Structure 1
């Protein structure tokens, strides 16, 4: 695994080299390209989008003793801040996946192509959920089209389902040419990729729940009897060879400065429920053993006590080298159960919504080796009869489960559903009262270089599916 990770890291470095053209590789070495693509997606999800999602999702806030992420807490990022993640998701991950998927007619590469198609659907969902309308039909054409037109988010979502289906059509777990360690996520287990594809479809259809419930319901109904993830889809990291968790690598690059600290929004909500995970996701103050947060965006206020930081299990504790080992989760088992629970609560998928909801909570505890104790019976068993209240409970518990480990997805689900409903505006906000970030800004590279760029969007402008 270490050797493959080293290959994936060197692959990412190669494709980020401005002296190479990633759109015109001289030879398609599929087994080496796959881990490079997977690592690229995880790099953005685990670093850039983890930071934005976890600050805007109010898990974390800027430390009063440093300054790196003040603009994020102020809701005032710069377009140039998104150049790198946009470039990695398109020019690195998507280009690699495009090369691999084109090899689907070659028997020894079919399972690689299956994974590539599924991950194209995943990558496009991340991109469009972040930015809204994005290049699709004109994208990935290399030098043939350096000024791609933008497609609507609705069209992008249609393509997501198409790509996932194309990948599933190629899956054959009995193939003589299964990927091995080149697949950093499942080690070539195509049954797991089938479950991942179904879970990704479920996530994508539920994203449309408030925009196009008819389509969402029909798409989810077609998933009846299918397999879903029961284990985390993640990439693990090591502490050596430049293969650390990408967020921790960012922290290393900043001289181990502790910029991220615990936000009172999430911490106080978890403490109110006596949630034992709070001491796992955050580092208790050594002198008291208590997790001590600060209000969101209050970095200009002089603290009167030691502040808790995120812990090493979410890669955000600067002075703990164990942060290097935290995995990046693409879809967690907990999320899979919560997605099924919501679909069941809406009457769109079979199954017992309460049981699936409790399985989601249990999966979250299990993934961090925490004993839930009476949490299931004292908290999770309080199941409302009203469907809207059930969905609120499911999304709120999903929010707790994603604390610091799926920050982008948690913030995105808040945009879709309005839950959890206890967010507060950052004290450092430069937006008007009651306004929050609803999207990421288009990158400066698109604004200045793409002659077909459709125009700027404000941070407060909702994406297509966000009607709550």
Structure 2
């Protein structure tokens, strides 16, 4: 018994000894010397800006371009391709600590700059939310920690847009008074670049309000002209709000082939290939690869007729049959063979040029619409050419040098229509072609606002069960909203859509 007791007490002593030693070294062992010990403004800023600028990767990267009919997907029938948008919510979680970015700033100038980032980020996120859904929480959003508002009310879409425009104007003023800051993977803390972006994005917001030009509170045309007259706007592709990719973990092109099992599924849509072929536009050779069947039958890679688009509205079985024949164009190799690919744009100089062209055609500002139209096409071509190796694998012996670009721009000028509505149709089409695998959902927003480009709709394949001859005009609210904020979301649905959360009913900006 004594022996057992001694063994027992000795065991306890050993355990206590190791426990004491372990406790004394616990903090040392579990502290990463390379990890920061405190959060600062720069860290929060970098996370927020990356959240705005960095698209998802692999299949998720391609999904918006199924919705915008730029690619057809050959793995399985996809809702976005066949007009089933599903549910969505306003993605605001990345902004929860934006206020701390301002609070932690060490100087007044830095505080202003980080406040500018906060307002731009808020404007973008609320814009994305209201463009998808309609009415969303705005004034009471993100007030859970500060005001204990856990179930925010939904604001009228008009009020959300007024708030977005005010925040962008405030951001411009803050950047003008602010200092260069750290934690910026896009513009390296250059406040002039951020002013250009804030103002250019405001023009993008205003053009989406083209059906609301008579509203006395929005003053769409007056605001647009004031921003343009201010002149602090994008001036070239160097101003693009984009991420330049690199051969580093987490920074490669989103559809790069390594660890990407989806590279075999996207094919180029006829909605992209046909207008490029009709206009003999060499961007075709940078966007797509020649159809294997056409090459086997004697066509050359530098012939327009070697490229075949797939109608994304075809029933999936028909698309699967086409894949077997190899009579289709897959993506250009540069989208998955090049680790750096091309910079990924969220807002671009070509987009800005086409917005200016549309505003000029509508009479909002003085000028000639065709001049901005030409600038947009030229900038698109230069962006593609400048970010593609001049190798036959990627250009298919149809490179776009300065001489070609000048020649084709002159041709586009001669063919620019005189009728205003036809001008807008051509402007939106070129804006669409310039957005290939860029700008996420923006071409869809232009389509539902203007009806251009005129995408094919096939009732036999449509998953839009309530209106098979239409493309839905909005996403439905998430079930989670009905579970946790039921009273407010139901009230918003009642005032907008007569109580039915219907993806085919028009939100306020489309009426």
TM-score, normalising length from structure 2?
0.75
Q: Secondary structure at the match of 1:134?
A: coil
Compared CA separation, residues 155 and 268, structure 1 to 2 (3 A): same
1:155 matched residue in structure 2: 159
Deviation per residue, 1:270-324 (Å, 9 max, x gap) = 21111111121223336352332211143311112243223355x5x4xx243x5
Alpha-carbon spacing, 1:133–1:43, altered in 2? closer, same or farther (3 Å) = farther
1:338–1:360 CA contact under 8 A, matched in 2? yes
Helix, strand or coil for the counterpart of 1:61? Answer: strand
Q: Please name the residue that 1:395 is paired with.
A: 428
The answer to whether 1:300 aligns with 2:305 is no
Counterpart pick for 2:288 among 282, 287, 301 = 282
Contact 1:281–1:404 under 8 Å retained in 2: no
- Whole-Å Cα distance in 2 between the matches of residues 347 and 395 of structure 1? 16
2:53 to 42, 45, 52: 42
Q: Write out per-residue CA displacement over residues 71-97 of structure 1, whole angstroms, 9 at most, x where no aligned residue.
A: 222323443xx46xx5xx3101x2243
**Cα deviation, residue 418, structure 1:** 1.2
CA deviation after TM superposition for structure 1 residue 257, in Å: 4.7
Partners of 1:256 and 1:425 in 2: how far apart? 26
Partner of 1:264: 270
Aligned residues: 422
Partner SS for 2:80: helix
Report deviation, 1:106: 3.7
- 1:118 aligned partner: 120
* Equivalent pair of 2:172/2:195 in contact (CA under 8 Å): yes
- Distance across 1 between alignment mates of 2:159 and 2:57: 27
In the aligned structure 2, how far is the partner of 1:208 from the partner of 1:165? Answer: 17
The equivalent residue for 1:18 is none
* CA–CA distance in structure 1, aligned partners of residues 455 and 79 of structure 2: 22
Bigger mean CA deviation after superposition, 137-146 or 150-159: 137-146
Contact 2:255 2:263 in 1 (8 A): no
**Distance in 1 separating the partners of 2:164 and 2:221:** 17
Assess if the C-alpha contact under 8 Å between 1:296 and 1:425 holds in 2.
Answer: no
Matched position secondary structure for 1:204: helix
Deviation at 1:31, TM superposition (A): 0.4
- Number of the residue aligned with 1:437: 472
CA contact (8 A) 2:459 2:469 kept: no
Find the structure with the greater CA-based Rg: 2
**Per-residue deviation at 1:361?**
0.7
Q: Cα 1:279–1:424, aligned 2, differ >3 Å: closer, same or farther?
A: farther
Partner residue of 2:226 out of 213, 222, 246: 222
Distance 1:252 1:414, change over 3 A: farther
CA shift for structure 1 position 408: 0.8
RMSD (Å) for aligned C-alpha atoms: 2.8
Q: Which residue of 1 aligns with 2:138?
A: 136
Aligned to 1:60: 71
Q: 2:448 aligns with which of 415, 418, 421?
A: 415
Displacement of 1:48: 8.4
Moved more, 271-280 or 283-292: 283-292
Change (3 A) 1:213 1:277: farther
Instruction: Check 1:259–1:377 CA distance in 2 against 1; reply closer, same or farther (3 A cut).
Output: same
Gap change, CA 1:269 and 1:310, over 3 Å in 2: same
Change (3 A) 1:252 1:395: same
Higher relative contact order (CA 8 A, sep 6+): 1
Aligned equivalent of 2:255:
248
Give distance in 1, aligned partners of 2:419 and 2:474.
Answer: 30
Per-residue deviation at 1:423? 3.7
Distance 1:240 1:364, change over 3 A: same
| Shift in CA distance, 308/378, structure 1 to aligned 2, threshold 3 Å | same
Instruction: Assess, with a 3 A threshold, how the Cα gap between structure 1 residues 121 and 45 changes in structure 2: closer, same or farther.
Output: farther
Structure 2 residue ranges without an equivalent (≥5): 1-36, 386-399, 494-499
Out of 84, 106, 109, the residue aligned to residue 107 of structure 1 is 109
Cα shift at 1:376? 1.4
2:375 to 359, 363, 376: 359
Alpha-carbon displacement from aligned partner over 1:87-135 (angstroms, at most 9, x marks no partner):
xx3101x224344356688433321221221232122212211222111
Paired with 1:332 and 1:240, the residues of 2 have a C-alpha distance of: 24
How far off its partner does 1:192 sit?
1.5
Evaluate the alpha carbon distance shift between residue 115 and residue 46 of structure 1 in structure 2; reply closer, same or farther with a 3 A threshold. farther
Secondary structure of 1:135's counterpart equals coil
Tell me what 2:30 maps to: none
Conserved 8 A contact 1:46-1:328: no
The 3-state SS of whatever aligns with 1:203 is helix
CA deviation string 1:381-435 (max 9, x = no partner): 3232322222222111111111221241111111111111344347521233421
Question: Residue 77 and residue 359 in structure 1: after superposition, are their counterparts in 2 closer, same or farther (change >3 A)?
Answer: closer
